[in-house]
Structures are given as C-alpha cells and as structure tokens.
Amino acid sequence: MDAGKAIYETVGRLRQRRTGPLVLELDLTEGLTEGPPADPLAAVLSMRKTRLADVLSGLKRARQDPRVKALVVKIGGHPLGLAMVQELRQAVIRFRASGKLTIAFAETFGEFGGGTVPYYLASAFEKLYLQPSGDVGLTGVALEQRFVKGALTKLGVGYEAGQRHEYKTAVNTFTQDHMTGPHRESTGRIVESVTETLVAGIADGRRLDPGKVRELIDRGPFTAAEAREAGLVDELAYRDEVYDVVMRAAGDDAHLLYVSRYARGAAVRKLPQPMAHGVALVHGHGMIKSGRSGRSPLGGGGAMGSDTISAALRAARRDEHVKAVVFRVDSPGGSYVASDTVWREVTLTRKVKPVIVSMGDVAASGGYFVAMAADVIMAQPGTLTGSIGVYGGKPVFAELLEKLGITSEMVAEGANAGMFSTSRAFSPEQWERVNSWLDRIYDDFVSKVAKSRGLSRERAHELARGRVWTGADAHAHGLVDELGGLEDALALARKRAGLADDAPVRVYPRLNPLERLRGPESSEDKSAALARIRLDAWGPLARLSAELGLPAAGPLILPAWYTIR
C-alpha cells in the first residue's frame, strides 16, 4: 500500500512538472560561453557553463509559453563583456514585454570594486533585489593602459615598430610612455560612447532622468541602503526571500527550471526534420590563426583557425538545405593571412546565399576583416570593432645582452637573413622592407573595406587608420549596417532567405560521431572543420612574437586592455 502510494505521488509530481507553471532561472555566477565547444578541451572546460545561444532561444520561446510565469536571474561577480550583456538585456526586455515577471538578484554589484556593467544588465528587470550587505559599484567607465617603455629602457631593451596609422595604438605600450593625441582621442570617444549607452539604458530601466543617472555615477559607489534610497534597487533581501517572492507570484505549484535546460528540452521535443531548409550558424571565436581552431592546454583563450572556419563555411555553402548563413564573430583579430583566407570564404558564400555577420563583444582588426564582406553586419552598441590597420616590429636586446655580458655573433647568407634577430636593430634597407609590408597590408585592408562597405577609398581610409569604434559609432559611420544581437541576425537571415520565422538553425559543421572519429578524407570534407588542441602560435614568427611580448596571434589584433566590463 505504501509502495503504491509512493509511486502514485511520484507520477503525480512528474505530471505536474510537465504541465505546471514554470519559473525560469538563470545563474550568471560562472558567466556564459559564447558558442558551442570548439575542441575536446573546450568541451571539458565549459561543461558546466551555460551557452548564450541557449539562453536567447529559451527566453524567446518562453515569451509565448503560457506555462512560464517569471524569470529570476542571479547576477554574479563573473565579468561579462558589454555586448554580451546587451544581448541578454535585449532578451530580458522582450521577455518582460510579454507581460511576465522579471526579477534580478545580486549579492553585490562590485565588492569594493566597479560594477557598472552588471548593474546595467540588472536595470532591465522589473524588480531588482540586492543583498543587504552588498554594494552598487556604479562608478562609470574607465579604460587604462600601462606603458612599459621606461622599464624597457632601464633594462637596456629598445623597441622598433611601425604602424598604420596613428590610431593603431597597440604597439604604443612598448614605444611610448604616455597616450599620444590620437590614442587619447579615440579612447576618450569609446568611453564617452559606452557611457551614453549605459546612462540611457539605466535611465530607461529604472525610470530615472538621464541627468540624474550621470549624477549618481559621479556619486558612486553606493552601500545597499544608499542604493535603495537613490532608487537604484527596489528592495534589500537575501536569496531565500527573493525566491519566496517569485514563487508566490508564480503560484503554489510552480517549479524552477534553468533557462538552458528549458531551451534544450524544447529543442528535443521539436527536432527539425533532417531535410528541412534552415539557417547555418558558424561561430568564429578567439584570436585568428592559420590552421585549425582550438586552444592551448597551457591556458589562454581559444583560437579561430582559418582552416576550421573556411571548412565550415564551405560545408554550409554546399548544403542545399542551408538557405542562409549567420557568421558569429567574437575576435580581436590576429593573423592577416588567416583573416584574408576567411574573408575569401565569406565572399564566395555570399555569392550563393545570404551571409549575415553577428558581432559579439569584439570584432576588431582581423575580426572586422573576416566580417566586412557579409551582406549585412550587425553589432551591439557596445561591440568594439573597426581597428582597420596594422603594426609590426621587434624588440632590440643588444644593450641588455651587453649589460649581462652576453655576446652574439651571426653567420648568414642573404642581406636580410638576420633582419628579425632581436640582438640588432633594423638597417635602413630592412626598414624599407618592413614599411613596404605594412603599407601593402594596410592598402589591401582599406581597399577591401571600401569595396565591401560601398565606400570611397578616401572615406574608408578616414574611418580606418587603426581606430577602434564602438558598435554605435561604427553604425553611424557605415562600418556596421544594423544594431542588434544574434537572435536579430538569425531572424534577418530567415527573412532574406524567404524562410519561416521558426525555420531551424543548425551549427556548422554538423558531424555525426563516425565522421568525428574517422577524420577527413580531404580538405574539402566537412570534418576538416574539426578543432584541435593547439600548441603553436604565429607559425614561423612564433619565436619573434614571444620575444615581442605580444599576444600569440598576429599583426591585426586589438589589445586586451580594450575590455569594458
């Protein structure tokens, strides 16, 4: 009798979970991953992380699902990039517009630290709760760069570098001891543009005057009590109290479900027909390198390998069931040659079917290079893009080696055989070759920008010169076509291809387990797009890159200090 009762109760609970009210939950404590794992190591490292695409698709479906009553999000201390925050914010606003309750909870927005961007995300919610011991680090936006020229000089290390042009300031870390005029101008405009976006969003979300928000930013950070007094948060409460509120609002029989689990469950229940026409989604994440995508087991971010991305684009281009391609780019750039390889595949794909680029947190330098040939480029206002320029050079350790009592001799055939040696400076003739290389890359970059974006060569150069733009400013200048996120790009791709609004999206390359095991038959095989664990860097310039102290990526790259969180 007891066993029968237990079974009956269990069945009842399962039935209720399938049919009862839902409260969707999202925990951002560990952050989000941008796309699917690119390689086995990435799969392990991101095993417990939620994917942005799952959150976006889950919230989109939940808007129309009568079972879903509310969304509760814990905004943690893990930093999220500004563009990713804007993707989430947009999804929350649309979910909220469907009439469902949205609640954000944070233990703190910066514990003795800044928390402007996380707070900007929280301001999109209908109700905002803060733990009584927490703070609101609404302090504004700051970009800081350190210069090591003075330290290098003391060590006896010189640095020789060229750049195209005055706004391509990545190398200034080594060649300057302060911001140049163009450097300060461009950085100042980035900070100003981002601040405008943040102020407008917070003012709208918290129903405050923009002038009041700027005043509050100058007064921050705030204790919890001060934040409530200023109208920055609604209530001070602990997690259990917040969850009591949301569960009471949803109903006694409601239960919690992570947004990602909700999205995956919906995908399983509604599997698309294998031959259904749809949209291919190709992810390009990380620094751009020749070869296959992947990451080093020694640490660091993933890499966008030109072979991997090119194979994925070819597979999507040749698949008759793919009617449009969305290329998601989240990259600071890297190798010029690898970027050009991907650019070519985007160009070829565009001739066959629509290609829409969706930019993530950053799509600059080489990241802009691979994107510029698309039919439409979409970015968030806070995306960092542009940086159309190039730099290159080397350190010279001659004085340091002399101080250390180290001598160096070279035997070489060829006038320039030792030009990349770090024990001697460039000769005038070698500088001519370096400058010729820089001019050739810059001219090719700008010419392709002009052709791809429908600009004159002069206008493209005016917008280039190595300058970094926010997505908002890039849109105003024609480097970006539309402002929006991944869901907007997918919707536009469906529209351009004449597909239904719910046409399936498939990540490319699509490989079955057998294809993953057997390996590619040729470079034309779609399994050639498999990623791997990488141990290489700049290819033949790997040693030089390491000695330069530069990111192991290439000459078209945006410095990591351009990060707004």
* pLDDT tens-digit readout, 372-383: 999 999 999 999
User: What pTM was computed for the model?
Assistant: 0.86
* pLDDT tens-digit readout, 94-137: 999 999 999 999 999 988 788 999 999 999 999 999 999 999 99
* pLDDT tens-digit readout, 51-106: 999 999 999 999 999 999 999 999 977 788 999 999 999 999 999 999 999 999 99
Cα–Cα distance between 275 and 317 in angstroms, integer? 15
What per-residue confidence (pLDDT) applies to 549? Answer: 46
Residue 109's beta-bridge partner residues?
Answer: 136
The DSSP annotation for 114-181 comes to --HHHHHHHTTSSEEEE-TT-EE------------HHHHHHHT-EEEEEEESTT--TTHHHH-SS--H
* pLDDT tens-digit readout, 4-22: 655 655 555 555 556 789 9
Residue 496, classified by CB atoms within 10 Å of its CB into exposed (0-12), middle (13-18) or buried (19+), is: middle
In this structure, the number of other CB atoms found within 10 A of the CB of residue 4 comes to 8
What per-residue confidence (pLDDT) applies to 536? Answer: 45
In this structure, the number of other CB atoms found within 10 A of the CB of residue 435 comes to 14
pLDDT < 70 regions, the chain: 1-18, 35-48, 266-275, 295-301, 509-565
Amino acid at 203: A
